[in-house]
Amino acid sequence: MAYVLYVLSLLLGLVIGSFVNVVIYRLPRRESLVRPGSHCPNCDAPVRWFDNIPVASWLILRGKCRACRDRISVRYLLVESITAAAFVLAMWRFGFAWQLLVAWAFITAMVAIAFIDYDHMLIPNKIVLPGALLGLVASIAINPQRWWVYLAGSAGAAAFMFMLVMIWPGGMGPGDIKMALFMGAVLGAYVIVALFAAFLLGSVAGLYLMVVQKRSRKTRVPFGPYLALGAVLAVFVGESILRWYTGTWS
Ligand SMILES: [Zn+2]
């Protein structure tokens, strides 16, 4: 019986992932998320429903627009697959519970932010501010005895990022501070794991860019994708890592 829940999570993840593609493209361009329907960015031909099936349509059309044969970025496929895989993992991690809904919504937001920041060096207020508020309300509703953990996690993470922005102005921006507010509201104490993972991944990638690709140290690199990746990791393994860490050191 359990496999039905996994199949449903997969299908829902694909559909939501398809919507995330729309958000990634349209939100930074201030376009409506619902109208008009999907169309080819090259020739403007409307995408018909049977060419708009997550993952499958991209594969059947071999990544080309049916009308103009222009390439459709493999990113569409990637965003749908990542979202679907994370949705299935969340079902495995939380089972059918309120926490699952929070995790799904949070993952959706993180995937959208990662790609929007990568493309535009921008973390949209329209996602992180309502996200922080709703995240806090949902976390406290699910776990009322530990309300202060989410408040402290949210405020603490934002204060930490604010400090970094002050010390190192070129590195991060106000979007990263608001993103940390959102992450802490949902992750509570596990935001520590998320931030640690983000800085670790960011440093490795930064070294790679400098040493292998010979980019200058001044090249601005968006930090949102690392924060998002750290946050999703923390959803799944934050608890075990924090427990392992405190167990080792206490
Ligand atoms: Zn086209």
Listing DSSP states for 189-204 in one string gives GGHHHHHHHHHHHHHH
- Banded pLDDT at 208 (limits 50, 70, 90): confident
Q: How far apart are CA 151 and CA 133, in angstroms?
A: 11
Residues lying with their CB under 5 A of ligand 1, a single-atom ion: 40, 42-43, 45, 65, 67-68, 70
Q: How far is CA 97 from CA 3, 119, 135, 151, in A?
A: 16, 34, 16, 22
* pLDDT: which is higher, 32 or 219: 32
- Banded pLDDT at 247 (limits 50, 70, 90): confident
C-alpha 58 – ligand 1 centre gap (Å): 13
C-alpha 71 – ligand 1 centre gap (Å): 8
What are the backbone angles phi and psi of residue 143, rounded to the nearest 5°?
A: -130, 65
As a whole number, the mean pLDDT across the chain is 92
**pLDDT at site 122:** 94
**pLDDT at site 37:** 87
**pLDDT at site 42:** 87
C-alpha 47 – ligand 1 centre gap (Å): 9
Closest CA to 106 of 142, 138, 76: 138
C-alpha 39 – ligand 1 centre gap (Å): 8
Question: Which tokens hold the place of 209?
Answer: 């860019």
Q: Out of 41-50, 105-114, 147-156, 178-187, pick the least confident.
A: 41-50
**pLDDT at site 246:** 82
pLDDT reading at 214 higher than 90: no
C-alpha 223 – ligand 1 centre gap (Å): 32
* pLDDT: which is higher, 35 or 143: 143
C-alpha 113 – ligand 1 centre gap (Å): 26
pLDDT digits (tens, 9 = 90+) for 110-125: 999 999 999 999 999 9
Mean pLDDT score, 212-236: 87
Q: Out of 47-61, 91-105, 149-163, 200-214, pick the least confident.
A: 200-214
C-alpha 48 – ligand 1 centre gap (Å): 12
**pLDDT at site 217:** 64
Say if CB 107 and CB 236 are below 8 A apart. Answer: no
Q: How far apart are CA 161 and CA 175, in angstroms?
A: 10
C-alpha 148 – ligand 1 centre gap (Å): 51
Cβ-in-10-Å burial (0-12, 13-18, 19+) of 185 comes to buried
**pLDDT at site 211:** 83
C-alpha 51 – ligand 1 centre gap (Å): 12
C-alpha 109 – ligand 1 centre gap (Å): 28
C-alpha 49 – ligand 1 centre gap (Å): 15
Mean pLDDT score, 167-175: 83
